[in-house]
Copies of this chain bind each other. A is one copy, B any other.
Amino acid sequence: MYFFEEIKVGQRREIGSFTFTADGIKAFAAKFDPQAFHLDEEEGRKSLFGGLAASGWHVGSVCMKLLVTDGQRQASEAAARGEKVAVWGPSPGFRELRWIRPVLAGDTISFASEIESLRTSSSRPQWGILEARNSGANQRGEPVFSMLAIAFVPRRSGAA
């Protein structure tokens, strides 16, 4: 994880890809989004989605998983190089989440994260605030998911 000073607007990082299986779609839906088109192939085919479709919350949660594991990978690589690792603050939330196209069983979604804005916090000068556009595209390159995440990032100058 980087400090505020090392982050630039426009930086983009591929954070990994994930294949949504029918079983995985149904298991998530049974727990968190039990609508028929997320639980049953035939109901999915008859729906606007045209097939068994992943819950939007499943897609967002998978994006979160890839963000976290990518961040952990970066942090351990930095630690292995003997660098000081920045510890980001908890996220207060996000804006503009969009489910752009259905994610159907068998689709492989590749996620990326791009820095969209950076500013310093006036009330907490040791922190910067960034907005990152996290997005996913399917195996045909079509966008399926987008959200604007907000994160607090420590400033190197403010680090202990």
How many copies are assembled?
2
Does the CB pair B93–A95 fall under 8 Å?
no
Q: Which residue of B lies closest to A61 (CB)?
A: B32
Q: Shortest CB–CB separation between residue A19 and chain B, in angstroms? A: 15
Q: Is A97 an interface residue (CB 8 A)?
A: yes
Residue of B nearest to A93 (CB): B98
Docked pose: A96 CA to B150 CA in angstroms: 11
A93 touches B89 (CB 8 A): no
Decide if B32 touches A65 in the complex (CB within 8 Å). yes
Stretch at the interface among A8-16, A52-60, A114-122, A125-133: A52-60
A33-B64, A48-B90 known; A97-B99 Cβ under 8 A = no
Interface size on A, residues (CB 8 A): 29
- Cβ–Cβ contact A31 & B95, under 8 A: no
- Nearest-neighbour CB distance to chain B for A155, whole angstroms, equals 17
Known: A49-B90, A57-B57. A34 touches B68 (CB 8 A): yes
Q: What are the 5 closest A-B residue pairs judged by CB atoms, nearest first?
A: A93-B98, A32-B61, A57-B61, A32-B65, A93-B97
